[in-house]
Amino acid sequence: MKLPGATAYMEALQDPATCFADPELAGASAALGPLGLPRAVSGNVAVVFRLDGSSGRSWAVRCFVRPLEAERARYEALRSHLATLDSSWRVGFDLQPLGIRVDGGWWPVVKMEWTTAEPLLSYVRRHLWDGAALGYLAARVAALAERLRADGVAHGDLQHGNLLVAPGGDLRLVDYDGMYVPALAGWAGTERGHRNYQHPGRAVGDFGPHLDSFSAWSIYASIAALAADPLLWGRLDGGEEALLLRHHDLEQPGRSAAFAAMEASDGPGVADLAALLRSFLALRPDEVPPLSHALGPAPACPAAGGVPTAPGGAGSGATGRPGPSWLPAKPSAAVVTPTRSGGAVDDPPVGAAALAAGEAAMRRAWSARGARATDETPRNGPGDTGGVPATGEGGKDDDAARTEDERRRSLYDALVAAGPVDTGPGAADPPLPPAPAPAVAFGGDLREARRTVAGSGAGAVVLLLTVAVGLPLLVALVGAVAVAGAGLAQVRRLFLRTPEARAAHQVGAVLAAPRRAAGDAVAAVDRLARGRAEVSTGEDAAARDAERDRARLRARQDAELRDVDVSLEATLASLVARERAIGVAEQEARTVALAALQSSVVDAQLAKHSLVSASAAGVSDKIVHLLALDDVRSAADFTDVLVEKKGGVVVCRDGRRIQVNGVDRRQADAILQWRRRVAGAAQLKVPDALPPKRQSAIRAEHNRLRSALAAEEESARVLARRRADGIRERWKAEQDAVLQRQNQVEADAARQRVEIDRDLARARKDVAEAEWHLGQHQEEVGTPAKLGLVDYLRQAVAVGPLAGIAGRPGGTHRHSSRDRMPSSQP
């Protein structure tokens, strides 16, 4: 049954709750794009969505638009092996064979942890002009390759889309469809990996621990090359589904503009890296030595450092230490297939040489960055003649005329030459005789030149020479230039008088115009590429600014919101205090009311007892009568009876004191006793609680107060909410403004990029044309011995190791664009 399309997946993702079998995914929500639809990122075989769980965790869900070739058992083996590892490249994953429901059918998904790391191409683009960052990145790639080997793992599809750079520079790998782990030994592969990164000889069924060797080298070399020469990015259309190299470059390196550009690059070490990759293309994929971080020592001591040897050499029946199988035994030998051992017993293993070369290239890329050799004919490529006979056939001396063997050999020489850079002269004993030095190149005035050189301070010239051939002695440069300047000028004059230089000059005159045109065209490409990078850098800066602005706005908004919260809380706290006070007051009211009730009951009882009845208790009628005259008629009307000097005094309830004649001690006692008796009887009728009606009245009265408080609280909350909304609205307007500005910047940048891209395409075509013309001219006039001032100087100084160092497989690649047509024809 046919897999769902990307749109069908996107429709399903609109409702994770019904489309996912996995409970975590079903409970999550899909990250949305600007249209409110789930945001998707597409690879070649899968569409990837991000799902955000409520717990703050996020997952990547890979939905397959091409059939998943790797079966479940394979994934189980992967999973159980990866579970034993503790490597930072690993991202948790889970294959769910019936993971997603689309239009009624169930399909597999891979659920992965979402990693926030940055995709490789975007990272490289952002750091294009930061050689240190790219150099570090290259080192991390090497470290990753080594780590994968230590983990027993081969990823199978190392490429920009599957490599992400975490904030600390750590690399993360995604997409484990084609991964090899030891438990899968003996299985066959299911994919070939990204064709822009894989050795063209890799077959679908290839599988094993070596799977990543070539792609790792290719990524490493591309990044290291960019660290040394960022202009390659623009020149080779970097970032378009590739770093620098594409499948057609790998399939036909001899016709590859990318290899040619790298080999002509004046970035230190770039040419060597390209040559190294080229040499790997001549091997079988499983013979390519693994990329290693512990870059080996000089090629002469292969055993040290445990540098692995190329598997092909060991497995092809060679005895003992296998030779560099890709190197013919003799320069003139017929083409030797990579698998056959060359037979030179003392040859270092290919791995060591390759690693040493890689390291040397890296070291140069690192240390000599910025100290680009100032060549006299700037766009003329590596002008030295390390491996080419100095006075030669003339005319067709390049690629076309050289055999494959010679090319490999000169590469090997370069590798050997690269070794002693740090280990010092003599440490290496090249197993093959060095390429012929251009000893016969110059006429008799060499002696004078030597004198001049000596006279101006040989050491300084050596230093200058060292710098001129790209060695990392930049520190000494400043001093050396001053000392040697005058002397060098003199040497240059002598050099220009040599017949070789004159011939070269004449040819140079013919070629000057086309060369200038080619140079101009390349410069135009570079300018545009730089412009493009600047646009992107500007855009990135704007994005960062906008992000910062938004963060600041958010912080200010949060601060204001916090203020609102704080004041609301204060209001609420005071409301709580007042409510408590209401409770207290209610209690009090009840107590008071009860007391009042009780005393009123007592009073009523007392009032019922007329003083007349007191006569029965021995109170004289006369006194009862007198009291009645003063309105004291019942037990309720008085509270006390005193006997003072002037006579008896009755204390009335209202506080009046009434003088009552005839009240003596005895009478007073009688009255009080009567009252006590009456009051005692009244006590029995006193209630000990308020009647329910009264109680609920009091309650109601206080509840009214309480609901007033509640209303106050509600209005305080409403107010706070309104203020918060107001604040949010106000800041949202500002945030939107920032966002809009940013969108504008992005749109502008995109438009500029489109324009620049259009110009770039044209400019690239111009370059191809100009180079083609130049090639035509060169073919017409023939190429003079490519001896430059540097060779002359080297001769003059005749310092052994430097001759070796300066030697490069030069001249081999310079005109390789000749056989290309001037247009962008495939």
Interface residues toward Mg ion, by CB under 5 A: 175
Residue nearest to Mg ion (CB): 175
CA distance 470 to 15: 61
- On the CB side of 298, CA atoms within 13 Å amount to 17
Q: Is the Cβ of residue 88 or residue 122 nearer to another protein in the bound state?
A: 122
Shortest Å distance, C-beta 163 to ligand ATP: 9
Interacting partner of 5 out of ligand ATP, another protein, Mg ion, none (Cβ under 5 to 8 A depending on kind) = another protein
**471 contact partners, CB below 8 Å, separation of at least 6:** 364, 368, 421, 805
Q: d(Cα 557, Cα 819) in Å, to the nearest integer?
A: 65
Q: Which stretch binds ligand ATP (CB under 6 A): 157-165, 240-248, 559-567, 640-648?
A: 157-165
Q: Is 162 in the site for ligand ATP (CB under 6 A)?
A: yes
Q: Work out whether 60 is an interface residue with ligand ATP (CB under 6 A).
A: yes
60 or 137: whose CB is closer to another protein?
A: 60
Least distance (Å) between residue 41 CB and another protein = 6
- Half-sphere exposure for 728 (CA within 13 Å, toward CB): 6
Taking the complex as a whole, how short is the minimal distance between the CB of residue 506 and Mg ion, in angstroms?
56
Helix (H, G, I), strand (E, B) or coil at 40: strand
Among 807, 72, 737, 810, CA closest to 433: 807
- The two three-digit tokens of residue 720, written as one number: 């706070």
d(CA 84, CA 90): 11
| Residue 126 parent element (H or E) | helix 120-126
Site for ligand ATP in 577-596 (CB under 6 A): none
Residue 211 contacts ligand ATP per CB under 6 A: no
Select 44 or 252, whichever has its Cβ closest to ligand ATP: 44
Q: Does 156 bind ligand ATP (CB under 6 A)?
A: no
Q: How far is the CB of 175 from ligand ATP (least distance, A)?
A: 4
174 binds, among another protein, Mg ion, ligand ATP, none (CB under 5 to 8 A by kind): ligand ATP
The answer to the question of residue 115 lying near ligand ATP (CB under 6 A) is yes
Q: Which of 43, 201, 342, 348 binds ligand ATP (CB under 6 A)?
A: 43
Q: By three-state DSSP, how is residue 255 classified? A: helix
Per-residue tokens: 640: 């006390």
Q: Which does 246 bind (CB under 5 to 8 A by kind): another protein, ligand ATP, Mg ion, none?
A: another protein
| Closer residue to another protein (CB): 744 or 824 | 824
Does 91 bind ligand ATP (CB under 6 A)? Our answer is yes
Least distance between another protein and beta carbon 408 (Å): 29
Q: Phi-psi bin for 305: left (phi > 0), alpha (psi -120 to 50), beta?
A: left
Minimal CB distance residue for ligand ATP: 43
Shortest reach from residue 4's CB to Mg ion, in Å:
18
Binding-site member from 46, 365, 461, 614 for ligand ATP (CB under 6 A): 46
- CB 817, CB 771: distance < 8 Å: yes
Considering CB distances under 5 to 8 angstroms, the limit depending on partner class, which of another protein, ligand ATP, Mg ion, none binds residue 616?
A: none
Nearer to another protein, 5 or 647 (CB): 5
Whichever of 175 and 413 has its CB closer to Mg ion, that residue is 175
Cα separation, 752 vs 744, in Å, equals 12
Q: Which is nearer to another protein, 604 or 821 (CB)?
A: 821
- Residue 29 pairs in a beta bridge with 52
Count other C-beta atoms under 10 Å from residue 704's C-beta: 11
Measure Cα distances from 751 to 540, 746, 755 in Å.
15, 8, 6
- Shortest gap between Cβ of 240 and another protein (angstroms)? 4
> In this structure, what token pair is assigned to residue 269?
């070490």
Give the alpha-carbon dihedral of 245, 249, 254, 260, to 10 degrees. -30
Crossing angle of helices 789-797/446-455, nearest 10°? 80
Residue 114 interacts with ligand ATP (CB under 6 A)?
A: yes
Which residue number, 115 or 571, has a Cβ lying nearer to ligand ATP? Answer: 115
Segment contacting ligand ATP by CB under 6 A, of 45-53, 140-148, 267-275, 589-597? 45-53
In the complex, the smallest distance separating the C-beta of residue 798 from ligand ATP, rounded to whole angstroms, is 54
40 binds ligand ATP (CB under 6 A): no
- Give the span between the Cα atoms of 666 and 14, in whole angstroms: 105
Binding ligand ATP by CB under 6 A: which of 45, 138, 464, 768? 45
CA angle 773, 775, 779 (to 5 degrees): 120
What is the pattern of x (binds ligand ATP, CB under 6 A) and - over residues 408-437? Answer: ------------------------------
What's at 374, amino acid-wise?
T
789-797 vs 474-497: helix axis angle to the nearest 10?
A: 100
Q: State how far the Cα of 667 lies from the Cα of 427, in Å rounded to an integer.
A: 142
Return the number of the residue (46 or 787) whose C-beta is nearest ligand ATP. Answer: 46
- Taking CB under 6 A as the criterion, the residue among 112, 145, 388, 469 binding ligand ATP is 112
DSSP letter string over 495-517?
Answer: HHHSHHHHHHHHHHHHHHHHHHH
Q: Is 44 one of the binding residues for ligand ATP (CB under 6 A)? A: yes
Alpha carbons within 13 A on the beta-carbon side of 623: 27
Least separation in angstroms between residue 71's CB and ligand ATP is: 16
Is residue 119 a contact residue for ligand ATP (CB under 6 A)? yes
Given ligand ATP, Mg ion, another protein, none, residue 91, with its beta carbon under 5 to 8 Å by kind, binds ligand ATP
Q: Which is nearer to ligand ATP, 46 or 250 (CB)?
A: 46
In Å, the largest CA–CA distance within the chain is: 170
Name the residue nearer to another protein (CB basis): 44 or 80. 44
H/E/C letters for each residue in 380-440? HCCCCCCCCCCCCCCCCCCHHHCCHHHHHHHHHHHHHHHCHHHHCCCCCCCCCCCCCCCCC
Nearer to another protein, 37 or 649 (CB): 37
Question: Token pair for residue 303?
Answer: 């055993």
**Nearest CB to ligand ATP, comparing residues 115 and 673:** 115
Among 22, 151, 175, 212, binds ligand ATP (CB under 6 A): 175
Residue 758 interacting partner from Mg ion, another protein, ligand ATP, none (CB closer than 5 to 8 Å by kind) = another protein
What residues line the site for ligand ATP (CB under 6 A)? 41, 43-46, 48, 60, 62, 91, 112-115, 119, 157, 161-162, 174-175
